[in-house]
Amino acid sequence: MSEERAGEAPPAEAHAGPERKLDRNWITQQRIGRWIRVGVLAGVWAVASLVVTFAGAPAAVSAAVVGGLGALLVLQAVLAHVWPAKTWKHASYRVTGSGIEIRRGVWWREVVAVPRSRVQHTDVSQGPLERSLGLGSLVLYTAGTDHSRVALPGLAYEDALAIRDRLAAVDEDDAV
């Protein structure tokens, strides 16, 4: 009932889809998001520094807070600029005749493939920042366990819609 197989030979175009990068605006989006976080942390750091300096805390404590946390903050700021470009470099996707293949990860690399027939439903979403940059996030839902939700953020909004239509175009016969 469920194990029918449509032909042994895979469709010729199955693995012929071009490897595509994410939209470059995604780097900007990630940077802005991270900068906002760094800004909030900087505020916290400034308040904490003022408190330890004027509340007469031991020198070691104030040094740790002002210096140590300050250094962490600088590191965060550097990462906020560098990391999005690095993840962008290692992220790509490929829409094939049989489904979609998503590649990601800088240190821990991963290629996830979701066959079209396994996509239960899809979401395309847009946050405020994404909207202003013309981006959209595509989320695929499968019946799986680890990959029950496969997200592909950082697409141009029209691309996200097009991919969704492409993947959702599968017949309705696998409805539960």
Partner 1 sequence: MPSEPAGPSGPPDPFGPSEPEAGRPETGDAAAGIPAGAPPPGGGPGAPPPAVPAPAPDSGEPPPDARHRLHPVSILFILGAQARSLLVPGLFVVFAARRSDDPSVWAMVLIVPYALVAVVRYLSFRYDYRPDELVIETGFVFRKRRHIPYGRIHNIGSVENPLHRAFRVAEVRVETAGGEEPEARIRVLSLDALEEMRRRVAVGKARGAGAAAGAGAAAATAGEQTAAGEAGAAVTPSPAAAVMAGVAAAPAGRELVRLGARDLVLHGLIDNRGMVVAGAALGLGWQAGLFDRAGIDAGRPSSPWSGGWEAWGELPQLAWQWVARSLQSGSSPLRVAVGVLVAVALFLLLVRVLSIAWAFYKLWGFRLALAGRELASESGLLTRVRAAVPLHRIQTVTVSETPLHRLFRRVEVSAETAGGKTGSREGGGDRERQRLAPVLRRAELPALLAEILPGLDLSAVDWRPVDPRGERRMRRVRLVSAAVAGIAVTIAARPAGVSPWWGLAAFVPLALLGIWIARRRIRRLGWAVTDDDVLYRSGGLWRHLTVARDSKLQALALEESPIDRRWGMATLALDTAGAGMTSHRLHVPYLARATARELFEQLERRAAATAFRW
Q: How far is the CB of 18 from partner 1 (least distance, A)?
A: 16
Q: How far is the CB of 9 from partner 1 (least distance, A)?
A: 8
Q: How far is CA 136 from CA 144, 158, 168, in A?
A: 24, 8, 17
Q: Name the residue nearer to partner 1 (CB basis): 93 or 157.
A: 93
Does residue 122 contact residue 141 with C-beta atoms inside 8 Å?
Answer: yes
Q: Name the residue nearer to partner 1 (CB basis): 65 or 123.
A: 123
Q: How far is the CB of 20 from partner 1 (least distance, A)?
A: 18
Q: Name the residue nearer to partner 1 (CB basis): 31 or 94.
A: 94
Does residue 97 contact residue 11 with C-beta atoms inside 8 Å?
Answer: yes
Q: How far is it, in rounded angstroms, from Cα 162 to Cα 125?
A: 13
Q: How far is the CB of 170 from partner 1 (least distance, A)?
A: 9
Interacting residue ranges for partner 1, rule: CB under 8 A: 1-8, 10, 14-15, 98-99, 101, 105, 107-118, 142-148, 150, 171-176
135: CB partners within 8 A, 6+ apart:
23, 25, 26, 29, 126, 153, 154, 155, 156, 157
Q: How far is it, in rounded angstroms, from Cα 30 to Cα 74?
A: 17
Q: Name the residue nearer to partner 1 (CB basis): 58 or 146.
A: 146
